[in-house]
Amino acid sequence: MVADPDVVVEHWPQACGACQAPVGADERVGDGDAVCHQVSELVVTVKVTEHRRQRVRCGCGCRTLAPLAAGVPAGAFGPSVAAAAATLTAARVSRRESARLLEDLCGMKLTAASVEGLVKQASDALEDPYAQILAHVDASPVRGADETSWRQAGRGTWLSVAIAQDAALFQLDARRDRDAAKALLGDDPQGVIVSDRYAVYLFIDDSQRQLCLAHLLRDFAALGERPGRPGRLGRDLAACLDAAFEVLNQPGRDHSDLAALAADIASHRAWLTELLARGARMRDKRTARFCAGLITHEQALWTFTTTPGVPATNNAAERALRHAVMWRKTSYGTQAEHGNRAAERLLSIRETCRLQGRRLHTYLTDAITADLHRQPIPAPLPP
């Protein structure tokens, strides 16, 4: 239901529902609130503006052609069409299928090459907003970080994401190493970084980290499938962490009351520490290394009980990457550097708009329009 419908149609009973007495026009007096039934309809219109550039001949004999006015696209399509092409691309629709959809829905004839040009136009307009998102995410007190594989012209590369409460930044890099992590998060990142246990994040102090407990639970489950003592230990570790999750996810829990959360989870934390110490003493070297490594970074397992706003898992970053993974699978990645920049910017602005409850097409239209008029691009984040 929308608060301001475009059209309102009043319906009155024709006769009494009991005695069937007719209801005349002068008897149409509402008794109580009307029962509202809204019907949404999609109205697609294409507005074509023809710009006629006239020529004049001067007395000197020179013929002069009028230039296009500022803000008029050099191509055949306006900002909303470019925004539609970019929106469809961000929704994982191919260039060829985007052209077909725009023709089916709007009657506009575009080629796949035209869609590619419009997506590049949108990407160019997003250069400054992308930098603003980077600065905003860098300044956020809590960030999640994750990465996935990507393809560029058949070569393996990596796509990383840093996500805050209201914005997300995607970044493509040739390698999955510490330099790439520093490019994403900064050489000396501030606040708390939520991530898995991948070694590229070891340059961050444990006091500023939250290791994803969902990843850890999967590691415990895998350990529990091994035979003998390592398997029994893995099952005990998984049961202990499951119990901690039950405390964390109790209905009605106030997650801002960290003192209560830490007190309720203290026994499970102590039990997990004891189990890890037991594992570190095992003869099985693989299990011993795994448990010893967790003991070394034990502080980073429980940051969510001491620092406000820190989640126990990295689910937000994983959800943000899921869309990018589907894009990679259907498009086979990118082919050139300008395609990398377009993917980074469109993924970033799409996820940022989603987190803020904003319409992606509306923002892209405003950004491309401002770029055409050489005006400041609207900020992707509230002031």
Question: Do the beta carbons of residue 246 and residue 253 sit within 8 Å?
Answer: no
Question: Do the beta carbons of residue 372 and residue 71 sit within 8 Å?
Answer: yes
Six-digit token string for 320: 């943000």
* Strand ranges across the sheet with 192-195: 168-173, 155-163, 142-152, 192-195, 209-211
In whole angstroms, give the CA distance from residue 2 to residue 41: 13
Question: Do the beta carbons of residue 272 and residue 242 sit within 8 Å?
Answer: no
Residue-level pLDDT at 66: 95
pTM for this prediction: 0.88
Six-digit token string for 255: 């997650």
Residue-level pLDDT at 241: 96
* pLDDT tens for the 383 residues of the chain, in order: 899 999 999 999 999 888 998 988 888 888 888 899 999 998 888 999 999 999 999 999 999 999 999 889 988 999 999 999 999 999 999 999 999 999 999 999 999 999 999 999 999 999 999 999 999 999 999 999 999 999 998 899 999 999 999 999 999 999 989 999 999 999 999 999 999 999 999 999 999 999 999 999 999 999 999 999 999 999 999 999 999 999 999 999 998 999 999 999 999 999 999 999 999 999 999 999 999 999 999 999 999 999 999 999 999 999 999 999 999 988 888 889 999 999 999 999 999 999 999 999 999 999 999 999 999 999 999 87
End-to-end CA distance of the chain: 29
The DSSP bridge partners found for residue 150 are: 157
Question: Do the beta carbons of residue 95 and residue 334 sit within 8 Å?
Answer: no
Residue-level pLDDT at 60: 93
